[in-house]
């Protein structure tokens, strides 16, 4: 409420507040309270409200003052949550459109959330499971999107790695999404902001290694993405909440990758709208319900049940099938209502003597959050509301999507180091040079282990050797430290290879022997009892050897080398 100064200094005073009305709530008795100033009647059945005073006061919401009508604050002075349903009946002008809707102001997000409303002549009736600031407005889109024309702020980023190249976005303040990139340790963080007041899906050609949001709880982001995955049967589409930023982390790939992202607005997004509105006040999706099940699990089970029960939903998400969308929206809302009702009821108890319903003292906040979620989803059970949301998705959202990619970038790979039967990178086996060891270190970096030893050639003289190891890769030289030092070869065993290394025929120690023999042309295998190795060779590359450790050729490759030297 703002302060208004009168004409004389000595007569300064606060402007007159809108009148406050109140009614006494008695145990076992219904209550009815009229506020003529705001054209509103509030009613509750017996024991739906805690004993005390029901109060209606004028409210001045910080957002959308110009479009919200008859905004009021409805509270009780007891501080106890609402146990049942409260009916709000606004008298509206005869000229108000059929889309007129009652909504409550969510204080955390400063968004208006529609509640189930019925229009009959000049009365607009709604039902709520909690008390807060209420009002009514005549455009559903304001309730769903809080002004569809509103746009977000673009993200800001620091420096980005040289291997992240060619970031392309739509150069317009009206673009579907904004994006920028910055370094995140050895990875890159792609910041993506939804420039719309309704959720959208971003379909990516390459899945990121992690998805987080600085504006939304991680559990909420995971829930939305899990819902999309279940709907689309793909884990490459992520949910972007209204005006929300989502950070996508990518690691440098072993092969160059071109990433593209396309904004999608379809039936899946319509379902996300319902899910998101339900989730606005239940930010902790790891919250354990009285039955022992986590709320996030219950919600996803509900979503999964919907997918299996709504014929054609999974196959029709990329279409604008109005009837299918209406059915899916209403079913999802009804399914959520049952989850929230059941869990909310478990947090309250009824006094057998007075009949008054009380909420457990340490569960009041949780009870209120479930009540708000219940009000949000019940709205979409109304056939009219579900149809309006479906029409909004089809007529407005689909027109808001441009052709072509909304974001794209190239993730370059490190320079490749090819290991072949005759080379280590560009260094040939048997090449002689005093700087052989230095060239290897320049190629792979500092080795994780260095060992000096003597060879054990059958029928020959032992020679001084040095092995340099980089994780699972071992490279051997003979006559180390001398002017005629020479590269002998390389060996790979199970473990992590340097990122840039590529092996012959792309056979690695993560492959089974059978899979390796399919990948290696003209491969043959035999068990050698002496060395307890199942040896795989090919005449195409006679210096190469692959081996497993099981006599029947099962199991995985455990040894790859171009310098197999059997010893007694």
To the nearest 10°, the Cα dihedral for 8, 9, 11, 14?
110
3-state secondary structure of 340: helix
Q: Which residue has the tokens 């604008």?
A: 320
Q: What is the DSSP letter of 80?
A: P
- What residues pair up with 424 in beta bridges, in sequence order? 419, 427
Q: What token pair was written down for 102?
A: 């009652």
What CA–CA distance (Å, rounded) separates 119 from 101? 8
With H, G, I as helix, E, B as strand and everything else as coil, classify residue 12: coil
Closest CA to 393 of 374, 408, 407, 380: 380
- Give pLDDT tens digits for 425-470: 999 999 899 999 999 999 999 999 999 998 876 556 788 999 999 9
Which pair of structure tokens corresponds to residue 243? 């005006």
For the purposes of burial, counting CB atoms within 10 Å of the CB of 7, is it exposed (0-12), middle (13-18) or buried (19 or more)? exposed
Distance CA 502, CA 413 (A): 12
The CA angle 348-354-359, to the nearest 5 degrees, is: 15
What are the angstrom distances between the C-alpha of 312 and each of 267, 318, 325? Answer: 12, 11, 10
Interacting residues of 209 by C-beta distance below 8 A, sequence separation 6+: 187, 249, 250, 251
| Alpha carbon distance 54, 32 (integer Å) | 9
| Beta strand 417-418 pairing with 501-502 | parallel
End-to-end alpha-carbon separation of the chain, Å? 94
User: CB under 8 Å to 115, separation ≥6 — which residues?
Assistant: 101, 102, 103, 104, 126, 127, 128, 375, 376, 378, 379
Longest Cα–Cα distance of the chain, Å, equals: 117
Residue 426: CB atoms within 10 A of its CB come to 10
DSSP string, 166-203: EEEE--STT-SEEEEEEEETTEEEEEEEE-SSS-EEEE
The number of helices, as runs of H, and strands, as runs of E, in the chain is 9, 34
* pTM: predicted TM-score of the whole model, two decimal places: 0.60
pLDDT of amino acid 337 = 78
Instruction: Give dist(CA 568, CA 555) in Å, integer.
Output: 25
Alpha-carbon distance of 174 to 149, in angstroms, equals 9
CB 160 within 8 A of CB 183: yes
* Angle, helix 267-279 to helix 295-309, in steps of 10 degrees: 150
In sequence order, the 6+-apart residues with CB closer than 8 A to the CB of 120 are: none
Q: Which of 451, 506, 520 is nearest to 480 (CA)?
A: 451
Q: Which helix (H) or strand (E) holds 135?
A: strand 133-137
The pLDDT value recorded for residue 9 is 31
Neighbour-count burial of 458, counting CB atoms closer than 10 A to its CB (0-12 exposed, 13-18 middle, 19+ buried): exposed
Q: Which residues of the chain have pLDDT under 50?
A: 1-15, 62-66, 141-148, 568
Q: Quickly list DSSP for 429-450.
A: TT-B-TTHHHHHHHHH-S-SEE
Helix (H), strand (E) at residue 194? strand 187-194
509-541 core/surface letters (b: 16 or more CB in 10 A; e: else): bebebeebbeebeebebeeeeeeebbbbbbeeb
């Amino acid at each position: 409420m703002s302060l208004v100064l009168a004409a004389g200094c000595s007569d300064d005073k606060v402007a007159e507040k809108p009148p406050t009305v109140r009614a006494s709530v008695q145990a076992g008795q219904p209550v009815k309270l009229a506020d003529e100033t705001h054209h509103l009647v509030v009613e509750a059945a017996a024991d739906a409200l805690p004993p005390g005073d029901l109060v209606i006061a004028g409210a001045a919401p910080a957002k959308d003052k110009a479009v919200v009508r008859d905004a009021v604050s409805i509270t009780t002075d007891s501080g106890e949550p609402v146990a049942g349903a409260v009916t709000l009946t606004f008298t509206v002008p005869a000229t108000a459109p059929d889309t007129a809707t009652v909504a409550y102001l969510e204080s955390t997000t400063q968004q208006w959330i529609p509640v189930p409303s019925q229009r009959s002549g000049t009365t607009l009736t709604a039902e709520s499971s909690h008390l807060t600031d209420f009002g009514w407005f005549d455009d559903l889109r304001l309730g769903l999107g809080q002004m569809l024309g509103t746009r977000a702020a673009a993200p800001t980023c620091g420096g980005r790695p040289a291997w992240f190249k060619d970031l392309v976005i739509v150069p317009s303040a009206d673009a579907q999404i904004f994006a920028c990139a910055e370094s995140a340790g050895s990875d890159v963080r792609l910041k993506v902001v939804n420039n719309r007041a309704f959720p959208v899906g971003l379909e990516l050609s390459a899945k990121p290694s992690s998805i987080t949001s600085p504006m939304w709880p991680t559990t909420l982001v995971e829930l939305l993405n899990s819902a999309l995955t279940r709907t689309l049967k793909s884990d490459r589409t992520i949910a972007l909440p209204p005006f929300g930023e989502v950070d996508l982390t990518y690691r440098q790939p072993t092969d160059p990758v071109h990433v593209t992202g396309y904004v999608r607005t379809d039936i899946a997004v319509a379902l996300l709208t319902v899910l998101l509105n339900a989730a606005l006040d239940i930010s902790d999706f790891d919250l354990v319900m009285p039955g022992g099940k986590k709320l996030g699990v219950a919600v996803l089970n509900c979503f999964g049940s919907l997918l299996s029960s709504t014929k054609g939903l999974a196959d029709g998400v990329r279409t604008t099938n109005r009837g299918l969308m209406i059915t899916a929206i209403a079913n999802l809302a009804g399914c959520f209502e049952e989850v929230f009702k059941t869990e909310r009821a478990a947090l309250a108890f009824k006094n057998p003597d007075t009949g008054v319903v009380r909420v457990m003292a340490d569960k009041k906040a949780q009870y209120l959050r479930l009540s708000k979620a219940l009000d949000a989803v019940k709205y979409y059970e109304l056939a009219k509301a579900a149809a309006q949301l479906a029409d909004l998705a089809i007529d407005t959202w689909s027109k808001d999507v441009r052709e072509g990619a909304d974001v794209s970038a190239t993730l370059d790979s490190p320079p490749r180091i090819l290991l072949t039967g005759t080379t280590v990178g560009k260094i040939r086996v048997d090449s002689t040079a005093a700087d052989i060891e230095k060239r290897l270190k320049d190629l792979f970096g500092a080795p994780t282990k260095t060992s000096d030893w003597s060879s054990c050639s059958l029928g020959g003289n032992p020679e001084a050797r040095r092995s340099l190891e980089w994780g699972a890769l071992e490279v051997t030289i003979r006559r180390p430290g001398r002017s005629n030092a020479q590269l002998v070869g390389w060996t790979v065993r199970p473990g992590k290879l340097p990122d840039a290394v590529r092996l012959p025929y792309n056979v690695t120690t993560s492959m089974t022997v059978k899979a390796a023999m399919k990948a290696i042309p003209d491969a043959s295998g035999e068990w050698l009892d002496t060395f307890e190795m199942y040896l795989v060779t090919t005449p195409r590359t006679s210096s190469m050897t692959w081996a497993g450790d099981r006599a029947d050729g099962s199991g995985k490759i455990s040894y790859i080398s171009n310098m197999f030297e059997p010893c007694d």
